[in-house]
Homo-oligomer: A and B are copies of this chain.
Amino acid sequence: MSSDQAMWEPKYATRAARMQASEIRELLKLLDEPDIISFAGGIPDPALFPVDLIRTAYSDALGKNVGAHKLLQYSISEGDPALRRWIAGYMAARGVPCEADNILITNGSQQGLEFLGRMLLNPNDTALVMAPTYLGALQAFAASEPVYDELSLDPTNRTAASYADAARAGGGDVKFAYVVPDFSNPTGETVSLAGRRHILSLAADLDIPVIEDNPYTTLRYEGEAQPFVQALDVAVCGGIDQSRVIHLGSFSKVFTPGLRVGWVCAAKPIIRRLTLVKQASDLNASALNQAVMCRLAEQEFDAQVARACKSYRVKRDAMLEALAEHMPKGSIWSTPEGGLFVWVTLPDGFDTAALLPKVVADARVAYVPGHAFFADGSGCNTMRLSFSLPTPDVIRDGIERLGAVLKSADI
């Protein structure tokens, strides 16, 4: 054995240089110590998982021999027809009349993001994303080596021509706009109706699709629901098969992320192409898990949404009250109408990434430094707080401890 052999590694594709670890997921691994109050995760509260219902659904699905054999076999890449019909009904009830053939089942909506990046982006093409935006989307798109430009909701800020010019200067074209319209990860904010119309207008001018990533939409605790961007487009373009909006949905935040079931709703030609991507990528999602999710959705969707909203609303209120009491003077934060996140901007001079070790050590509290959510790495004085996991009392305690360390920080 030579030392050359010991150092053997393959030559990676150039895109591999863009594949980086998620700070959040790496952070999660370090937070198993029981005395840490974690506002970092942003994962749903397991106390809300309908465990008994899920156990019964698996037992019943596997109870009939013929049906069980089918659910344990390879299955079609598009996904379970009954589940796709249920989702089509869900979308239709929200202003997007469509059929099962407009739906592709994915392993969580994360997989839909990766598929869309792969299908749409050549290296150096531009993806328009808000700043900050969902970190997992930046990671999903990264393998396709895009350039990012900031999707601004202020119509006076940037013209379609300026986006197109910037993209050409970067060696590609603008390929899509990406938005999490409801209770965004990481900010918790909701895009206004005017903002939604502006995105559609900009996309029309650029002749690009809009990727509407909407996993939190049903978790609304107050205020009026805004129409899906896809619904606004469908209302004027003539129907889902003429729409430029590609909608991603998920059962992970409402029921459980453990079955890995999400979906893409889009024009049939787009779904047909994505189905080929699914086929090449992992053949199909588990038919068994899809059947179980279909039963959960058919039986319990509205009731489960109501249960989740009731619980999360109290937690959100606890966090907002505690922030008002304990944050350093000059801090501001979002007031989310739903979802799992509050976005805090500390006064200039704070560096939330540099402070995190001290906060974990002294306050036994964890959060996600905000700069990870900016494609350009800015946002050093921001942080994402999730209220999903701790109880209201623990949230109050944690925010108080966090505030104390922040106020004592030598900035």
Contact = CB atoms under 8 A, between A and B. Distances in A.
Given A29-B76, A108-B283, A260-B285, A11 B43 contact: no
Contact of A260 (B1, B110, B237, B282): B282
A317 to B, nearest CB: 24
Contacts of A11: 120, 173, 175, 208
A140 B280 CA distance: 5
Interface in A16-52: 16, 19-22, 25, 29, 43-44, 46-47, 49, 51
B69 A119 contact: no
A200 interface: no
Nearest to A291: B258
Contacts of A107: 107, 282, 285
A230 to B, nearest CB: 13
B283 A259 contact: no
B276 A120 contact: no
A274 to B, nearest CB: 9
Nearest to A67: B51
Nearest to A237: B5
Given A55-B58, A270-B9, A46 B19 contact: no
A62 B69 contact: no
Contact of A1 (B51, B108, B114, B238): B238
Contact of A288 (B77, B259, B276): B259
A46 B70 contact: yes
B51 A257 contact: no
A136 B283 contact: yes
A91 interface: no
Residue of A120, A242, A283, A285 most packed against chain B (CB within 10 A):
A283
Contact of A258 (B51, B73, B119, B139): B73
Nearest to A46: B69
A377 to B, nearest CB: 18
A378 interface: no
Interface string A47-80: 1010100110011001101001111111111000
A10 B136 contact: no
A125 interface: yes
Contacts of A159: none
Interface in A121-148: 121-122, 125, 136, 139-140, 142-144
Contacts of A19: 119, 273, 276-277, 280
A9 B269 contact: yes
A221 interface: no
A286 B25 CA distance: 16
B270 A286 contact: no
A366 interface: no
Interface in A236-293: 236-238, 242-244, 252, 256-260, 267, 269-270, 273, 276-277, 279-289
Nearest to A16: B119
A1 to B, nearest CB: 4
A71 B140 CA distance: 24
Nearest to A63: B55
Contacts of A5: 237-238, 242
10 contacts: A8-B244, A8-B267, A10-B270, A12-B119, A25-B76, A49-B68, A51-B69, A74-B257, A106-B282, A259-B288
Name the 10 nearest CB pairs between A and B, nearest first: A72-B258, A46-B69, A55-B62, A1-B238, A139-B280, A58-B58, A72-B256, A107-B282, A111-B282, A19-B276
Given A54-B72, A72-B259, 17 more contacts: A1-B236, A8-B237, A8-B242, A10-B209, A11-B120, A11-B208, A13-B121, A14-B122, A15-B122, A25-B279, A54-B62, A58-B58, A74-B252, A110-B282, A110-B283, A136-B280, A286-B289
